[in-house]
Structure 1
Amino acid sequence: MARVSQAHLDARRRQILDGAARCFARNGFHATSMQDVLKEVDLSAGAVYRYFSGKDELITAIAKEVLGEIRAAFEDVTRHSPPPPPDLLIGEVLSRTLRVWSSLNDDGEPVLPRLILQVWGETVRNEELAAVLRDVYATLRESWGWAVEAYQDAGMMPPDIPADHVARTMIATVQGFIAQQALFGAAPVEVLQGGLRALMAVRPPQREA
């Protein structure tokens, strides 16, 4: 009997994950059944269960991939010294993150933001996912805290505000834009970048002499 290559196994696993991601993005985790996934990927139950024991394991695998991509994007961008200005840095992170699974769109709407929103909700009942999310968030705060300190050292940002406060605000900006994409439809990253540039340019009003 011919031995199945690792490349074939990896490709089949990818096929299952991509199909499940489409289903979950379309209908949500709990409204999607394993039968829906089997139909989407056009495989037998035996072929799918060889890789994943059930829907919960599929959800966990997809969530770990999504969160891992986000963490990798943040870490890569914040390696520059000093990093690019916040509007460019956040735009680069979002552009890279939103490209993940972009080829899976089947209705013109972004798949990844919907999945991220569902992952956030799923952590309420799934402690394993909650632990993964906490770990990712801690890593992001550390990476972006370093970026803020680099801004401050370069004189690009006031030094009197704790770096962690700024880091948390930057992360919240990304989270909010992802939520908007999921809830209200796709919007170009340039929208967020332009808004950030405008906010960064705000100055106190000049007093009349």
Structure 2
Amino acid sequence: MTRNVLPETPLGRPANPEARAHRKAQILAGAQRCFIRKGFHAATTAEISSEAGVSVANMYQYFPTKDELIRVMIQADLAEDLDLVRLVNEADTLAEGLEKTIRLTTADHENLSNLGLRLEILAEAARNPRIAAEVRKADAQITAAVAEMIARRQLAGEVSNDIDPGPTADLIMSLFDGMIGRIALAASNPEALARAATQLILAGLGVTPKAAD
């Protein structure tokens, strides 16, 4: 007689993919709050699990180390940044795309409050080779996407052909990294800084904003 053998499921880990995704997001959200409040090194696994509403053992099933938590956060930031580049690409003009994207990001108060987390990630990358490698990989992807966006606008005749897309994309990303730091430290007004950045980028790319009708 043949017995039906059910697949084994690790104890404490939801078998349903949707339940797993929800639990993972729950832990990530708790970790983000802890990291923003205390920093990566000061935040303990016990504090992270308590903030997330799970046991330490359950958290380890999803994220064996704090480095893994940071790695997933870097990937989430990358996905959000690539979505912003996509919005710029979909706009009729580069000026319209940049203005829309920056307006969305500066109007999102939750996004602004999380900018400090990006500073924490950069600080951790300065002393942790594994995190540094993840940051460099994500940075290369977003910079390449911005360079491709510039090249597409050049083909459309919107951006000067004298511009070299690669280094220019690198410079634009440096500008945004600096903006993140100033906004996170409340050193500048986000909306005013965003408008100035838009004007600077468009001028540097040789784009002349359309005159109002």
TM-score range, shorter chain: 0.7 to 0.9
C-alpha separation in 2, matches of 1:79 and 1:173: 19
Moved more, 94-103 or 156-165: 94-103
Mark the CA change 1:82 to 1:150 in structure 2 (over 3 Å): closer, same or farther: farther
Q: Find 1:178's aligned residue among 177, 180, 189.
A: 180
Contact 1:60/1:129 (8 A) holds in 2: yes
1:113 matched residue in structure 2? 115
Contact 1:144/1:167 (8 A) holds in 2: yes
1:13 matched residue in structure 2? 24
2:61 is equivalent to residue 50 of structure 1 = yes
Map 1:186-201; keep pairs closer than 5 Å.
Answer: 187-189=189-191, 191-197=193-199, 200=202
2:90 is equivalent to residue 80 of structure 1 = yes
Mark the CA change 1:117 to 1:17 in structure 2 (over 3 Å): closer, same or farther: same
Q: What are the superposed Cα offsets for residues 125-152 of structure 1, whole Å, 9 maximum, x if unpaired?
A: 3333222222222222322222222333
1:89 matched residue in structure 2? 97
Alpha-carbon distance, 1:187 to partner: 4.1
TM-score by length of 2: 0.73
C-alpha separation in 2, matches of 1:94 and 1:116: 17
Q: What are the superposed Cα offsets for residues 6-48 of structure 1, whole Å, 9 maximum, x if unpaired?
A: 2222211111110000110111111111121122123222222
Question: Percent identity at matched positions?
Answer: 25
Superposed CA RMSD? 3.3
* Residue aligned with 2:67, SS: helix
Contact 2:179/2:193 (8 A) holds in 1: no
Mark the CA change 1:79 to 1:36 in structure 2 (over 3 Å): closer, same or farther: same
Alpha-carbon distance, 1:173 to partner: 2.3
Gaps of 5+ in 1: 104-109, 203-209
Mark the CA change 1:51 to 1:161 in structure 2 (over 3 Å): closer, same or farther: closer
2:110 matched residue in structure 1? 102
C-alpha separation in 2, matches of 1:188 and 1:70: 17
Mark the CA change 1:39 to 1:123 in structure 2 (over 3 Å): closer, same or farther: same
Contact 1:82/1:147 (8 A) holds in 2: no
Mark the CA change 1:90 to 1:42 in structure 2 (over 3 Å): closer, same or farther: same
Q: Find 1:23's aligned residue among 15, 27, 34.
A: 34
AA of the residue aligned to 2:74: A
Contact 2:98/2:198 (8 A) holds in 1: no
2:51 is equivalent to residue 40 of structure 1 = yes
2:164 matched residue in structure 1? 162
Gaps of 5+ in 2: 1-5, 205-213
TM-score by length of 1: 0.74
2:155 matched residue in structure 1? 153
2:130 matched residue in structure 1? 128
Q: Say which structure, 1 or 2, has more relative contact order (CA 8 Å, 6+ apart).
A: 1
Contact 2:183/2:190 (8 A) holds in 1: no
Contact 1:102/1:112 (8 A) holds in 2: yes
C-alpha separation in 1, matches of 2:200 and 2:163: 20
Q: What are the superposed Cα offsets for residues 73-97 of structure 1, whole Å, 9 maximum, x if unpaired?
A: 32x1353387522xx4344444566
